[in-house]
Structure 1
Amino acid sequence: MIFLPNIVVVIKMGFKSFVNTVDLAKKIMYYYVKSGSIAIDCTVGNGNDTILLSKLVGKKGKVYGFDIQPVALKITKEKLFKENLDKRVILINDGHENIDRYIFNEVDFIIYNLGYLPGGNKSIKTEIYSTLESIKKSLYLLRKNGLLLITCYTGHEGGLEEKEGVKDFLKELDQKEYSVLKFNFLNQKNNPPVLFGVEKL
């Protein structure tokens, strides 16, 4: 089991229970995001999290997706239309640091997958300063007991510095206001990603 305040994520122990941090993030999403939830995907990429969130929030929920690359939004929009999920999602072609220009109400769940678009231009990637600005604004938008997940990739140029910056920021959050956890694989090679989870108390 993984314990968060007011949340218990039960993971069946057995073969490949802990595959990677992306898989763990999905397990948490399945458990936490409910029909009617409002969620934000701050790094749409190829749309995998956006698609999953749009299914989990149901017809009464809403998903906002941010990406600076039009190609990422095009890919995601096509996937949404194919599965008839497009009416639940608002895609925004802007940096996630501008989240407060588009969203003004409290939200239930926010997710980040930092780094570059898989299969895309590796020189276009998230940067520590804009990422931290976005996280600060996301924490403000998060409702009480809302959940924020951040997956940091460290194998690309600037990735390690971004991960360390996120970690340093999160560990200074007031424990009376937020609970923060870090999940990473200690024995995996080739720069395994790190997952941070934040719950607003």
Structure 2
Amino acid sequence: MGFMSVLSFAHRCVTERLRPGEIAVDATAGTGADTAFLCGAVGSAGTVYAFDIQQEALDRAAERVAALHATAPRLHLLLQSHAELEQALPPDERGRVGAVMFNLGYLPGGDQTVITRPESTLPALDAAVSVLRAGGILTVVLYPGHDGGREEAESVQRWAAALPEAAFQTLLYRFANRSNNPPYVIAIEKRKVYS
């Protein structure tokens, strides 16, 4: 039996912390894999917000959720940058989010010149940790193998390493002996209220 894929690892981290009925955010809807996963995790009483700057991604996410969940949670598909995450959530839901997931890079099968970039990703990560509840989880799947991916991955890794240890636990999950710039995950658990 091999190790878990990075996406499976991110899902497992979230499964261990996110509860039915909670609020969750997919900061980069993409193909809808994380959106559908979060919908299943929060159940019909929960709420999921999915962000993407491409309508094609939101359409794919909606299709995937509809195909997998007969009774989906309250799903909000937002044609907005993940950098607008905090402002897009209602004020009474900020600080109550159980999980935020990022899957950076580009939309598979879409326009590969449209990629996530540090200038929007880093503010989005700041917003994500601010909306999490204590004990909530943030996962970031990073893809250093495409143009711009290494720069973004290094920026995110520096950002995560600088989080105060008293308020956050940060974990890096990556395959150390692959030479083709494989994707990897950073998972962050919020220990206490942090502003």
Q: TM-score under structure 1 normalisation? A: 0.88
2:82 paired with 1:92? no
Give the percent of matched residue pairs that are identical in Structure 1 and Structure 2. 34
CA distance in 2, matches of 1:43, 1:61: 19
- What CA RMSD, in Å, does the superposition of the two structures yield over aligned residues? 1.3
The residue that corresponds to 2:8 in the other structure is 23
2:170 paired with 1:180? yes
The residue that corresponds to 1:101 in the other structure is 87
CA distance in 2, matches of 1:23, 1:111: 12
Count how many residue pairs are aligned between Structure 1 and Structure 2. 186
1:37·1:108 contact (CA, 8 Å) conserved in 2? Answer: yes
| Runs of at least 5 residues in structure 1 that lack an aligned partner in the other structure | 1-14
Amino acid at match of 2:10: A
| Runs of at least 5 residues in structure 2 that lack an aligned partner in the other structure | none
Deviates more, 1:162-171 or 1:184-193: 184-193
2:51 paired with 1:61? no
2:113 aligned residue (104, 110, 123) = 123
Q: TM-score under structure 2 normalisation? A: 0.91
Equivalent position SS for 2:16: helix
Q: Give the CA deviation at 1:59.
A: 1.3
CA distance in 2, matches of 1:59, 1:109: 16
> Greater RCO between the two (CA within 8 Å, min separation 6)?
2
CA distance in 2, matches of 1:192, 1:173: 24
The residue that corresponds to 1:114 in the other structure is 104
Q: Give the CA deviation at 1:79.
A: 2.4
CA distance in 1, matches of 2:190, 2:87: 22
Q: Give the CA deviation at 1:86.
A: 4.7
Q: Give the CA deviation at 1:27.
A: 1.9
